[in-house]
Structure 1
Amino acid sequence: MTDIRLDVLAIGNAIVDVIAAADEAFLEAEGLAKGSMRLIDAAEATRLYDHMTQGRETSGGSAANTVAGVAALGGRAGFIGQVASDQLGEIFRHDITGLGVEFATRASDGGVPTARCLILVTPDAQRTMNTFLGASQHLHAAAIDAGQIEAAAILYLEGYLWDPEEPRWAMIKAIDIARAAGRKVAFTLSDSFCIARHRDGFNQLIDGGKVDILFANEDEITALAGQPDFDRAVATVQGKVETLVVTRSEKGAIAVRDGERVAVAAEPVARVVDTTGAGDLFAAGFLAGQAQGRDLGDSLRMGAIAAAEIISHYGARPETDLKALIAERLG
């Protein structure tokens, strides 16, 4: 069996996040609904970018945020995702590798630009996201490195990438490789709108025993289960996966494994500034905890601590030493 050299290897959209402050008047002038997420084309991405105030540009995308968090917590992390041979593609590669994440996927030269997400954050910490998915939607199965997957203890997949056919088949191939190698497969449902489009496909994966660790929030788990009641939804899904993790915003989070249900409270935050990446960093904390051999309770606490840190400032990259924070609060 291949030796493990990565704790978590993620597959997801390779997106450059551009995060900038905006007021209500700007959103109204641009015809944007506060708190919404919309997909845009390349022309609209260029137009809106030109109208925004100066922003912070970092490697992003849900799964990329998670493995960046794993690396910040001292874990060995890798990422598979598609960028183009352009300036933003180089920004993504330079940024994520600079964070200590292994990123070996070759850039494409097919003419489709690198993806970017233009995130407008209002003073009440609400984020309005405008996403051009670009090259990230063209990750193909040939880009999957079997050896890299076999060398990772956990393969982590984001539901956002389930939409286009090419990366869907790439992820299915990766799941098969991971399971054949005896590795764990983690999957995040990503968003309720993903479930609205792919509920049957997600349930087929889960019912087929292809997912070991499932991440969801409260809305997502009820949508997946088709149960409006939270506890009934959890009961419907928990027996289908080894570990179910559900975040509940200010109500904390739960995890269920082998019939054991563990709950933790949300970590206190002096002021919520930007919720971008909260769920992604929660997953990072939980997965890092599992890689360290911690129990469900401590892993949930690590997720809650990482999420609380990330919502206290702009962007989805920690500004505090997460390893020191965990050591201080958990030991």
Structure 2
Amino acid sequence: MTKTTLICGSLAFDKIMQYNGRFGETLLADQLHKVNVSFLVPTLRTEFGGCSANIAYNLNMLGGDPLIMATIGQDGGEYLERFDKLGISTRAIRKIEHTYTAQCFVTADLDNNQINAFHPGAMQFSHENNVADVGPLRVAIIAPDGREGMLKHARDCAAAKVPFMFDPGQQLPMFSGAELIEFINEASYLTANDYEFEMLMDRTGLSLPDIAGRLDALIVTRGEKGSEIYAKGERHEIPCVQADAVVDPTGCGDAYRAGLLFSIVNGHDWPTAGRLASLMGAIKIAHQGGQNHVATASEIADRFETEFGYRYSA
């Protein structure tokens, strides 16, 4: 049986800028109706980002077989070269020649307040990709992406009987209650943080037991409090793994999801899946950016054994 995991989601460049002042000293509360300001940003760095790439990066590190389905712009050559070097297949990535790759421009001040601008670019054309074109799959994830693409890929997976994980993330407000219920009914798994899950219940009118009862597993993350997995009428409490350092939470949720997907493909029980996911998040958070942490599959397995006293299968 194939172990290929289809990862539907965004590809993006993150432009991170640091302002060595405080926004509050420049933005006048009584003059916000006519803002015209410029912030000097002495430092600028570009990070490889996007949910699909972050998930694939971590799954590849674990020894999985990620297949990214996404759209990239005319400026995406460097990203494709990166995937080639990492050994991650690019055959399901569609290049949209008349637009740019999705980009997030982040300006942070000394208090870590942020002013962000997001350009969706090629992400808006994700619906041009077809799940049926990529061949046999073991599992898929529908991560934040273009709205129409997320709806289409979920329906494609359901039609092809490919079990998939629904991960609405920051795109959750883009969907109506009826659309979210459709996602839930089509999905095998759903993962969200505690805030997103509260919004999901509010939008759909469904309770936690209602939602969990329609899925093989519901996973709710709660930051430093760990996470909870509801499956087959059971609730599994997953501890938070202590990180070596808390440097940058960017991409931690994606690393967590990679751990879940690896466990699903390899037939782990849900407590093991949650613990591996938690470990992946802890490894990521100790590094800046979503794809700058490095570990081998054996190193991850060794650390898992140290943390939890047993070894998982791969």
Q: What TM-score bracket applies, with the shorter chain setting the length?
A: 0.7 to 0.9
Shift of 1:327: 2.7
Gapped runs of 5+ residues in structure 1? 32-46
Point out the structure with max Rg over C-alpha.
2
Shift of 1:64: 2.0
Asked if the contact 1:221–1:233 (Cα under 8 Å) also holds between the matched residues in 2, the reply is no
Q: For 2:301 and 2:109, how far apart are their aligned partners in 1?
A: 29
* SS in structure 1 at match of 2:43: coil
Q: Which of 123, 126, 137 in structure 2 is aligned with 1:136?
A: 123
Deviating more after overlay: 210-219 vs 315-324 = 315-324
Q: Which of 174, 178, 181 in structure 1 is aligned with 2:157?
A: 178
Q: Which residue of 1 aligns with 2:224?
A: 250
The reply on whether 1:326 has 2:297 as its aligned counterpart is no
RMSD: 2.8
Deviating more after overlay: 312-321 vs 232-241 = 232-241
Shift of 1:138: 1.7
Gapped runs of 5+ residues in structure 2? 28-37, 306-310
Q: Which residue of 1 aligns with 2:10?
A: 13
User: Aligned pair count?
Assistant: 292
Asked if the contact 1:9–1:154 (Cα under 8 Å) also holds between the matched residues in 2, the reply is yes
Q: Which residue of 1 aligns with 2:77?
A: 90
Letter in structure 2 aligned against 1:250: E
Q: 1:195 to 1:178 in 2, by over 3 A?
A: closer
The reply on whether 1:151 has 2:136 as its aligned counterpart is yes
Q: For 1:67 and 1:272, how far apart are their aligned partners in 2?
A: 22
Q: Which residue of 2 aligns with 1:25?
A: 21
Matches within 5 A, 1:57-76: 57-58=47-48, 60-76=49-65
Letter in structure 2 aligned against 1:178: C
* SS in structure 2 at match of 1:140: helix
Percentage of identical aligned residues = 22
Shift of 1:278: 0.9
The reply on whether 1:218 has 2:194 as its aligned counterpart is yes
Q: 1:140 to 1:203 in 2, by over 3 A?
A: closer
Q: For 1:152 and 1:108, how far apart are their aligned partners in 2?
A: 25
The reply on whether 1:196 has 2:181 as its aligned counterpart is no
Shift of 1:316: 0.7
Q: Which of 41, 44, 60 in structure 2 is aligned with 1:54?
A: 44
Q: Which residue of 2 aligns with 1:305?
A: 279
Asked if the contact 1:195–1:202 (Cα under 8 Å) also holds between the matched residues in 2, the reply is no
Deviating more after overlay: 209-218 vs 153-162 = 153-162
Q: For 1:271 and 1:121, how far apart are their aligned partners in 2?
A: 21
CA-to-partner distance for each residue in 1:7-66, whole Å, 9 max, x for gaps?
x1111122122345x2561655886xxxxxxxxxxxxxxx99x946131432x2112211
Q: For 1:326 and 1:180, how far apart are their aligned partners in 2?
A: 35
Asked if the contact 1:276–1:315 (Cα under 8 Å) also holds between the matched residues in 2, the reply is yes
Q: For 2:69 and 2:25, how far apart are their aligned partners in 1?
A: 37
* SS in structure 2 at match of 1:83: strand
The reply on whether 1:278 has 2:252 as its aligned counterpart is yes
Q: 1:129 to 1:247 in 2, by over 3 A?
A: farther
Q: Which residue of 2 aligns with 1:108?
A: 96
Q: For 1:103 and 1:52, how far apart are their aligned partners in 2?
A: 35
The reply on whether 1:289 has 2:263 as its aligned counterpart is yes
CA-to-partner distance for each residue in 1:95-137, whole Å, 9 max, x for gaps?
2333232222231222x22211234566777776432111121
* SS in structure 2 at match of 1:54: strand
* SS in structure 2 at match of 1:274: coil
